[in-house]
A and B are shown apart, each in its own frame.
Chain A
Amino acid sequence: MVRWLASRTAQAAATFVVAVVLMFFLMRLSPGDPLARLVGDRQVSAAELASLRTRFGLDQPLLGQFRAFVGGVAQGDLGASIAYYPTSVSELIVARLPATLLLGGTVLIINFTVGIVIGVWQARHRGSAGDRWLSIVSLTAFALPSFWLGLILAWLFGIHWRLLPAAGMTTPALDPGAGLLPRALDVARHLVLPAATLCIITIAVTIRHQRSAMIETLTADYVRTAQAKGLSERAVVWRHAWRNAMFPLLTLFGLWLPVLVTGSVFVESVFNWPGLGSLAAEAILNRDYPLVMGTALLVAGAVVAGTWVSDVLHVALDPRVRV
């Protein structure tokens, strides 16, 4: 087990390094000047452009830039953003991370609790009218484009009924003396619509995975044995069947972890949620190399860590895999 763990960890680390190196060079090899958006429509002299290139190290050869990047990362310095100069990339990421974690975490929790309960219910009532309707509704929600659903919800609940704020994460003009509870409630109100949008669209995947895994498990001999022993329905379903039906969800959970830190670009844009997804998208659009690499490090780390966690959990919980 220890050997497997060491090998899997080394594999994850290698994947991370290769991903980062590839991203570094692909980003720089793509056509387009990173200073173009910074300068915009303004007419600038060649001297000014040269000065800006020197500031961001873009006058160095590619390998020199890579060495500087690796050296900086080793010292925990991701450099200064081009678009947000002189703010450092680390500052920008740290500032945006809480919003992304809050949104991603909320969606993840709702997705995996509600999704599992509905998936199990559907498996137990397979073929019933309720099962069919839930499948139709969840798949329809899955097929909706997130930005479209976001716009509809924002219009309906924010503009038409004025029940919830349609944008942002906080009310900036809230009384500065407001306590923790009013502030938390303010954030919660802002969280409802973006979280609901993401949940509605993504929960179908969890439901489908859970439903099929559970249907397969419910027909297994050990489940029939448990029922024959006279165990209650709840005990059979949750203690015997579900424990074996949760493994596909572990893989799904591993794939979901990166979303926790990267957020959703569309939903963040529509609801003006100040998270990392919109920051990363903006950085790519602006060719803001340091910021792109900073967010790329985070994404690559999250993807690799998510896969690693789900693999390790799989091995830890399922003795058959160890064999």
Chain B
Amino acid sequence: MSRRTLIWAVVLTLAACTGTERRAPTTLTIAVGQLASSPVPTMTEGASANSDVANLLFLRLAELPPSYRTSGDSGFIPRLARSWERRDSVTLVFHLDPNARWQDGVPVSAQDVAFTIARARSVSPQMATLLTTIRSVEVEDSQTVAFHFSEAYPEQLYNATYHVPILPAHLLEGVGDHSEQQSAFVRQPVGSGPYRLAEVAPGDHLVLQAVEDFFLGRPTIDRVIFRLGSDPEARNNMLLTGQADAVQAIAPADAPRIAANPDLALYTVPGFGVGYLLFNQQDPNHLDRPHPILADPRVRSALVHALDRPRMLQAVYREFAYLPQGPAARLHWIVDTTETGVPFDTTVTTRLLTQAGWARRSDGTWSKGGHALSLTLNYPSTSRVRAQFAQLAQEQWRRVGIDVSLNGMEGALWIDRRTDRQFDIDFSSATMDPSPAGITQSWSCAGIGGSNVAGYCDPKVDSLLGLALTDAGNALAHYRAVLETIRADAAAAFLYSPSTIFGIHRRFENVTIVPYSYWLDVWRWTVRNGAGGGASQPADG
């Protein structure tokens, strides 16, 4: 045997041995501010922690397109449904993936889809509202299900797929709400997703285990651990000490500290949230009367022009937020990111207030009919971001003689005041669905008395919204006209649409974070060669 042959033999033997070695299990530990308590669709309430986990356990029929465009049928990503077709303008037919299985081995069927929609409508009034346009769900055969809509509109596919992941009818049919069987299912859910719930340590952590025979491909990461860190500093410490591989919602001020660690990478993910100063157009003391100061659009516009919003945004969020020009977030497909919006111009403020009959006093403040231009801004003191913005706004208004007193209050009390419409200016923050249709709730005349707490009503906006919701071909133009009209009405000063900052260990590759459910694609992440394991090692290990 020659020397070369011998070397090759050794190399091949070693390669063969390596190939038969068991792969070290890979673990992704995520430090989160809240731990899921009920990660089952239609059995969760509010907390995004629940839906973040639920979306790894249960699949939707399809996921949103990468553009997050909710209007039309194109670009959606097949999940439980392998394909779909439009039978007519009010009927969508889904063909389920024949390989899709529940984690107990039972195939996912059309009955599951019909059951889930019926259940969602019956247990959640919010779901009932969201699914109101679905007239019926018809099982055509075990793998085919037809959605019949009450009207033709562009968001049918979105409404049929987004709001509720599919549940197993064979395990939940006939099970009563709040029953023992339901509680047992919440403790040990059987889903169709890439992970199953393996362990729950309340108040500490929750472990998801990869499903070996997941029909869309085995997840590369074997275990995903959600670890509770109520305090942001504790979460950052977990990441920096290696006790966690990923942290969500890092404060902008903490981002440089995380970025300075060579093992960690920062990811910035734009979201669907918007923060704005909402001007009440009703008198808080007599809700049937107009607000004595803010009912005048010139005063509202003067207030908006007095704010240097880009500088405020930079001061609070640095580069981690987008300046919105209306009630739509950076990721909403209707947003024109080149739009510059209302400019900062205090001469316009002075001109508008003068036009509105306000006169400047010797001390620089404004008065009209013996009444001072004095307002109160309510905000939740628990939000550091809103407290910072409120102080900046107060100072900028003071410089042009507008007196605004700050009223920071405890969160629940702030919501009470807001709901009861007891405010002049409310520091609102809304996290919206990917669909811009949600604008209707807070910015249409019909929303007054409900989510439209400021009493804003412009028939032109209502008309444009009606067109945007039904006219697929021109929806973008109609929605943009809505945003422009709301901006022109100076219904609010739109201040920020924040991005969420994530710190993730660099050994993870192909990292994609989905803005509407951050960890949805984690099963497709990969781990750099030779970097198995995870945050399982002790801090000094």
Contact = CB atoms under 8 A, between A and B. Distances in A.
B is bound to A: yes
A85 B183 CA distance: 10
Contact of A173 (B201, B412, B438, B535): B535
Given A43-B430, A162-B540, A272-B229, A173 B534 contact: yes
A51 B413 CA distance: 21
B185 to A, nearest CB: 11
Interface string A27-50: 000011110111111111111101
B410 interface: yes
A82 B183 CA distance: 15
B442 interface: yes
A240 interface: no
A165 B441 contact: no
Dominant SS among interface residues on chain B: mixed
A84 interface: yes
Contact of B237 (A41, A45, A85, A166): A166
B230 A278 contact: yes
B239 to A, nearest CB: 10
Interface in B169-217: 178, 182-183, 186, 201-205, 207
16 contacts: A32-B411, A38-B46, A41-B429, A43-B438, A48-B125, A51-B125, A83-B47, A154-B233, A159-B241, A162-B241, A168-B227, A171-B243, A173-B27, A269-B234, A272-B229, A282-B230
B442 A43 contact: yes
A151 B412 contact: no
A39 B46 contact: yes
Given A46-B450, A87-B38, A279-B203, A165 B410 contact: no
Given A37-B411, A95-B203, A272 B230 contact: yes
A167 B412 contact: no
Nearest to B440: A43
B362 interface: no
Contacts of B430: 41, 43
Contact of B43 (A33, A86, A164): A86
A173 B223 contact: yes
Contacts of B535: 173
Interface of B: 27, 29, 37-38, 43, 45-47, 124-126, 128-129, 178, 182-183, 186, 201-205, 207, 223, 225, 227-231, 233-235, 237-238, 240-243, 273, 382, 410-413, 415-416, 419, 429-432, 438, 441-442, 450-451, 534-536, 538-540
A303 B343 CA distance: 59
B182 to A, nearest CB: 8
Interface string A165-184: 11111111111000000000
Contacts of B124: 48, 51
Contacts of B205: 168, 170, 172
B258 to A, nearest CB: 12
A165 B240 CA distance: 11
Interface string A67-83: 00000000000000101
Given A86-B43, A86-B186, A45 B234 contact: no
Given A38-B46, A165-B241, 17 more contacts: A36-B416, A37-B412, A44-B126, A46-B450, A86-B43, A86-B178, A86-B182, A92-B203, A162-B241, A163-B539, A172-B29, A172-B205, A173-B225, A173-B536, A272-B238, A274-B228, A278-B203
A210 B29 CA distance: 46
Contacts of A43: 430, 432, 438, 441-442, 451
Contacts of B534: 173
Q: How large is the interface on A (under 10, 10 to 19, 20 to 34, 35 or more residues)?
A: 35 or more
A96 to B, nearest CB: 5
A271 B438 contact: no
B39 to A, nearest CB: 12
A101 B88 CA distance: 64
A155 B412 CA distance: 34
Nearest to B452: A43
Summarize A's interface: helix, strand, loop or mixed: loop
Nearest to B232: A269
B204 A172 contact: yes
A104 to B, nearest CB: 16
Contacts of B241: 158-159, 162, 165-167
A32 B225 CA distance: 34
Contacts of B126: 44-45, 48
A148 to B, nearest CB: 11
A151 B413 CA distance: 31
A5 interface: no
Contacts of A318: none
Nearest to B449: A46
Contacts of A159: 237, 240-241
A287 interface: yes
A191 to B, nearest CB: 14
Given A31-B413, A37-B412, A85-B37, A158 B201 contact: no
Contacts of B204: 99, 168-170, 172, 274
A62 interface: no
A52 interface: yes
Contact of B539 (A34, A158, A169, A285): A158
A311 interface: no
B129 A45 contact: yes
Contact of B233 (A48, A86, A270): A270
A92 B237 contact: no
Name which of A87, A164, A171, A186 has the most chain B CB atoms within 10 A of its CB. A171
